[in-house]
Amino acid sequence: MYRTHNNGALRLQNIGETVTLSGWVQKTRNKGFMVWVDLRDRYGITQLIFDEERSSKEAMTMASELGREYVIQVTGTVIERESKNPNIATGDIELLVSELQVLNSSLTPPFTIEDDTDGGEDLRMKYRYLDIRRKPVRQNLIFRHKVAMAVRNYLSAKNFVEIETPYLIKSTPEGARDFVVPSRMNAGQFYALPQSPQTFKQLLMVGGMDKYFQIVKCFRDEDLRADRQPEFTQIDCEMAFVEQEDILQAFEGLTRHLLKEINGVEIGAFPRMTYDEAMKKYGNDKPDIRFGMEFGELNEVAQHKDFNVFNQAELVVGIAVPGGNQFTRKEIDELTEWVKRPQVGALGMVYCRYNDDGSLKSSVDKFYDQNDLIQWAKQTGAVPGDLICVLSGDTAKVRSQLSALRMELAQRMGLRKPTVFAPLWVVDFPLLEWDEDTKRYHAMHHPFTSPKPGQMELLKTHPGEVKANAYDLVLNGNEIGGGSIRIHDKEIQSKMFDYLGFTPQEAKAQFGFLMDAFQYGAPPHGGIAFGLDRLVAILGGQETIRDFIAFPKNNAGRDVMIDAPATIHQEQLNELHLKLNLSEN
């Protein structure tokens, strides 16, 4: 047996016991007549002590030669520590070692195995197995496990059944790009890895399974944006015989349970907001409502003067930055430069100081007097001491720009507190969105999303205005879940495919099995999917999902530790009926 206890277990009551421990050498201190070793494992650190009087000469010698990250096994007696360490759970005791065995030596690790390591991102990823020895990474992985268990036990208790759906499925050009898997046994044919189990969970509803969930890997071959992974994990859920309200209640329950169980935070009924309202108030369909700075639209109060920039704009909109009047001119100039960065894309920023004496001073005083500016304050909710920041231009663009500014200011001002949780349902999403590239409307969610009752007619006349039975769950400015009530009527589904530009042949080839299934008594149904990676990161008070994934890939989709993807043997290619085609496309 390699150990009787782990390195986080021993306390004062164990004093006098003979125990065996195993673990990694965190550090050693050698005073000649005495050697201390910090022994580490997943559970904690225990201090070992070797001394001239009480330890064997052999053990003393071996102890003094131990390097960092050596794996050792020791047997000894638990004794009380002279100078206790209140920072660790085992800080009252230490182990007087009688026997020491080196189980494995170690090269000097390429970075320090400490909470704050000196290793950069690239090095940590290449040696991820060493990075995982670090407490913050280890705790994140254990935290993820806890969240997943809490999800499973909650849903299971609510009669949801976790059902595994297949990974080797069929490629559908709709949506993002698929990863495909060539079939050796079916020459020239390919499986695809699922972007989500969407059609299978709908088939399970047709199959009467009524409450389904699955924590499942999904795959998207996208050009990776920051903090996206080609493989990611979803909490995928679907229910039959439900309306939107049933789904919102069920998964608000799950989220509330997680916040309580994992974070100890009790939250009442989640607020709800329509997509239109979220865009108008926050310029964003996933607003962070932990802080204010709601948008105030200024068209009516700013388009009556000679300031052409505003007069020609589709939208003039501002926010009141609390206490922002304290910003220096230099700081405001810097903010203006920030919104003009290509990533944000504003052409400039108008601002207005709201002084403590009630007077207002804007950067466009030439055009606006105090009476005008007080209207600006009214619309944005500014009070004395605030700074009003105003952007103008095309509605969609200016909302997105002002939203970016709002989030940046909140970040700088420390308003995005990781231990404060503000969930929000955003509902009534548009059914369709316009795609500039193809000059066509596309399904905003996916082609199985049902329009709101009575809006099928609008499809013909005002497609952009049709709202869907679609909803997102937003937490702290992140979309953590999204779903919809599905179409369960084959006629409507077929009309929708038609509308989205599928020929009947294409619809049949890609979704024929679903259309077929709908002919045999499909129940009303709907669902939701949560991004587990992001959910876990946010509950853990962080925003980088990579820190909560054991073996993440980098932004080029590579696993730098195992060096994948890689070339394969010519024989494998032959068996798969493939040739490489490395000329320029």
Q: Which stretch binds its own copies (CB under 8 A): 295-303, 334-342, 437-445, 516-524?
A: 516-524
Token reading at 158 = 């609510």
Of 191 and 421, CB closest to its own copies? 191
Q: Is 221 in the site for its own copies (CB under 8 A)?
A: yes
Q: How far is the CB of 434 from its own copies (least distance, A)?
A: 23
Q: Is 492 in the site for its own copies (CB under 8 A)?
A: no
Residue of 92, 94, 178, 372 that binds its own copies (CB under 8 A)? 178
Q: Looking at residue 449, what DSSP letter applies?
A: B
Rule CB under 8 A: which of 460-479 touch its own copies? Answer: none
Residue of 2, 292, 312, 355 that binds its own copies (CB under 8 A)? 2
Q: Is 579 in the site for its own copies (CB under 8 A)?
A: yes
Q: Is 547 in the site for its own copies (CB under 8 A)?
A: no
Of 87 and 585, CB closest to its own copies? 585
Rule CB under 8 A: which of 325-364 touch its own copies? Answer: none
Of 230 and 345, CB closest to its own copies? 230
Of 210 and 227, CB closest to its own copies? 210
Q: How far is the CB of 478 from its own copies (least distance, A)?
A: 20
Q: Is 226 in the site for its own copies (CB under 8 A)?
A: no
DSSP codes, 242-253 = --HHHHHHHHHH
Question: What is the four-CA torsion angle of 490, 494, 500, 503, rounded to 10 degrees?
Answer: 150
Q: How far is the CB of 570 from its own copies (least distance, A)?
A: 11
* Spatial separation of the C-alpha atoms in residues 153 and 145, rounded to whole Å: 12
Rule CB under 8 A: which of 112-141 touch its own copies? Answer: 127-133, 138, 141
* Spatial separation of the C-alpha atoms in residues 46 and 23, rounded to whole Å: 9
* Spatial separation of the C-alpha atoms in residues 97 and 54, rounded to whole Å: 9
At what angle are helices 490-499 and 504-517 packed, to 10 degrees? Answer: 160
Q: How far is the CB of 291 from its own copies (least distance, A)?
A: 33
Rule CB under 8 A: which of 146-175 touch its own copies? Answer: 148-149, 152-153, 156, 161-171, 173
Token reading at 310 = 């505003």
Using DSSP's 3-state secondary structure scheme, residue 235 falls into: strand
Residue of 328, 438, 505, 519 that binds its own copies (CB under 8 A)? 519
Beta bridge partners of 393: 315
DSSP codes, 171-217 = ---SSSPPPEEE-SSSTT-EEE--S-SHHHHHHHHHTT--EEEEEEE
Q: Is 385 in the site for its own copies (CB under 8 A)?
A: no
* Spatial separation of the C-alpha atoms in residues 198 and 381, rounded to whole Å: 43
Q: Is 551 in the site for its own copies (CB under 8 A)?
A: yes
Peptide bond into 524 cis (omega under 30): no
Of 193 and 301, CB closest to its own copies? 193
Rule CB under 8 A: which of 32-91 touch its own copies? Answer: 40-42, 69-71
Whether the CB-CB separation of 336 and 391 falls below 8 Å is answered with no
Q: How far is the CB of 30 from its own copies (least distance, A)?
A: 19
Of 5 and 286, CB closest to its own copies? 5
Q: Residue 303, Cβ neighbours under 10 Å: how many? A: 14
Of 128 and 286, CB closest to its own copies? 128
Whether the CB-CB separation of 350 and 393 falls below 8 Å is answered with no
Residue entry with tokens 């099928």: 456
